[in-house]
């Protein structure tokens, strides 16, 4: 359950997280003013849970190609103050996205 250790001091939490369904994106605003929209499909493909990534090898075991391109967010919840849990429309809800992970995604691409 708690394979990813909390890294709250590694990355401050976002100040705003907003769904943008018409763009199939999640908009995240950080305390330094950076605002980025992450594509939901990319976010879904980046899930780091034990069903998606082999915990020992770090290898992605989920079939990313087979993901629903129209995947949507059914629900969002905060986990402590270090991560976001996303309940996806395809039923997947075991993944946590730590702030550090989200920040990395916002800085990439
Ligand atoms: Zn997953």
Residue 47 CA to ligand 1 centre (angstroms)? 4
Torsion sign across C-alpha atoms 68, 72, 76, 82: positive
Two tokens, residue 108? 């990439």
Per-residue confidence of the chain (109 residues) as pLDDT tens digits? Answer: 444 555 445 789 999 999 999 999 999 999 999 999 999 999 999 999 999 999 999 999 988 899 999 999 999 999 998 999 999 999 999 999 999 999 999 997 5
- The whole-model pTM stands at 0.85
Residue 86 CA to ligand 1 centre (angstroms)? 10
* Alpha-carbon span 10 to 5, nearest angstrom: 11
Residue 44 CA to ligand 1 centre (angstroms)? 8
Complete domains list, the chain, with CATH:
16-107 (3.30.2020.30)
Residue 41 CA to ligand 1 centre (angstroms)? 12
- Assess contact for 11 and 103: CB atoms under 8 A: yes
Two tokens, residue 52? 């998606």
Q: Which residue has the tokens 């996205």?
A: 97
């Amino acid at each position: 359950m708690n394979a990813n250790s909390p890294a709250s001091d590694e990355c401050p939490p976002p100040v705003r997280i907003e769904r943008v369904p018409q763009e199939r994106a999640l908009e995240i605003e950080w305390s330094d003013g950076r605002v980025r929209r992450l594509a939901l499909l990319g976010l879904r493909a980046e899930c780091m849970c034990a069903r998606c990534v082999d915990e020992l090898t770090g290898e992605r075991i989920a079939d990313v190609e087979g993901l629903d391109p129209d995947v949507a967010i059914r629900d969002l919840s905060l986990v402590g103050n270090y991560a976001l849990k996303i309940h996806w429309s395809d039923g997947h809800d075991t993944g946590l996205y730590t702030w550090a992970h989200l920040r990395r995604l916002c800085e990439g691409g």
